Amino acid sequence: MKDFFISYNRKDKVWAEWIAVTLTNAGFTLAIQSWDFRPGSNFVLQMQQATVECNRTIAVLSPDWLASVFTQPEWAAAFALDPSGAARKLIPVRVQVCEPPGLLRTIVYCDLIGLAENDAKEELLRAVSEMPPPPPSSVPFPGAASETRQFPGASRSQPRNRLPNTAQCAFDLFGLLQTTRTTFEAQARLRDTLVRHVHERLILNPNEDWQYEEFFARYFPELDAEERRIFSTIRSFTTNILSDYNRRILALIDACPEIANEIPDIPALKRHLLVWLAKFEGTFLQTPSMCLVYTGVDEGVPFPSNLDHDLWQYLGRQGQFRELLKGEPDPTLHFEEHVDESEHIWRYHQRKKWERKRIAEISTERAGIPGDKRAGELDRELADIMTRLVPEPAVPIPAALISSLESLGASPDPTWPQALRTSLDSVRRPINEFNATRGIGSENLKRLLSELPAIVSQVQALRIESPLPGEWNRFLDALSEWALAALQ
């Protein structure tokens, strides 16, 4: 039985390995993913085995760890074995500014923030054992011998919890915001994964402009088992972390109103969170089809975009805080949604799959309702899809189609609606090009496809004697067959 299992997020690997080396050199035994989980092994099973085969779990506490989907089972298993904390089965070690949520908040953590390396070693060893073995005089930093890497913490120790009231409030607010921000980033990545999953399984149009709340409400009843698992994870972030932290941020602002004198965006933050919590309590908790709560543009209370930057700058001006900031990620590097390079490629292929599906659906429906108003609507939708497939489909424009169109435009009846005569005028250029070259270029083809459904619809509505509707249907059928083959 080993002494410790070290649970960490991959972004905190440097800290995890420093802790592992420190404990190993002090005589403890341990398991850690980067050393003990071999390539090709089952990660989940390895993690479960490590929690069972080790006496205690050390959680490398950071915003990324708190927001990680994979570390939650690790600390939950340790907590379940020792809910009172008497056996100290779970020992959180804080390495970045953050505030634990929920049950984790009840566990006293070992705090390495602001400590130089030697002091951090002593603090860690005190935390893991009542009588720790004396540590060695020096501990090499883990990693390749050729690397010149430094201790991931401060260069010299700084006193904690001795800041002026406003600065201490700003420091606490920074920790809460770091964790909510990281949680939102993790939630957004899962959200995008779920949206893609649903699009691909149901073959949806990726260009439809859905808001996320609306999208999930619409497709919630159709989610499969895997999609519901992801949905539940996203919802748990909203229910268990974001709601808790947003309340704590509001309480902190109310307890320290003078912080608004230093951080101008504090009133805007408070308005945003008040609306967020009202929506969470009034709508989200009663609506199982919601996994996210967004308040911003529609409500007129967006999250203040400059808040992180202003808070970072203010804390940087506090002399006693500079060392505490060392090693913290720069919050001015905002998380950007939808910057995945694969997004464009995914949308392209998803649109092709959707177009093929929709063309087949339209072709089937059109066959049963010739001349109906609905047929005209379907023709317009099909023609719109076709305009995105040009240039140059491998289907020649029938001369009979052009001829019937030209005949209508050559002698329009004065009683015809102006809209019909305008549409006939707009297709003169494609007709002239066809007569001159026996073909039509992509721009004129787009023009022809965009105007023909309306012309055919009006010809049928006015009962004008013309072969145009029949020629159009034959051409559209041929285009559909070509498109279905081209989109394979």
What is the edge-to-edge ordering of all strands in the sheet holding 54-61?
30-32, 2-7, 54-61, 90-94, 110-111
- Measured at the alpha carbon of residue 335, what is the angle toward residues 331 and 337, in degrees to the nearest 5? 170
Place of tokens 């130089």: 116
Chain center to CA of 224: 20
Question: Sign (positive/negative) of CA torsion 363, 368, 370, 371?
Answer: negative
Q: Residue 30, Cβ neighbours under 10 Å: how many? A: 21
Return per-residue pLDDT of the chain as tens, 488 residues. 888 888 888 888 889 999 999 998 888 888 887 776 655 444 455 555 666 678 888 889 888 887 775 555 555 555 555 554 555 678 889 888 877 766 667 677 888 887 888 888 888 998 887 554 454 555 555 544 444 446 776 666 655 555 458 888 888 898 888 888 888 888 988 999 999 999 999 999 988 878 898 999 999 999 999 999 999 989 988 998 899 899 999 999 999 999 999 999 999 999 999 999 999 999 999 999 999 998 876 778 888 888 888 888 888 787 666 666 666 666 655 556 655 667 788 888 888 889 888 888 888 887 776 556 677 788 888 888 877 775 555 678 889 999 999 999 888 888 899 989 999 998 899 899 888 888 887 788 888 888 888 898 888 888 899 999 889 888 888 888 877 777 66
pTM score, two decimals?
A: 0.68
Fold classification of 2-128 (topology level): Rossmann fold (3.40.50)
SS3 144: coil
- Residues of each domain in the chain carrying CATH 3.40.50.10140: 2-128
The one-letter code for the residue type at 133 is P
Instruction: Please say whether the beta carbons of 106 and 85 come within 8 A.
Output: yes
> If you ran DSSP here, which 8-state letter would residue 208 be given?
S
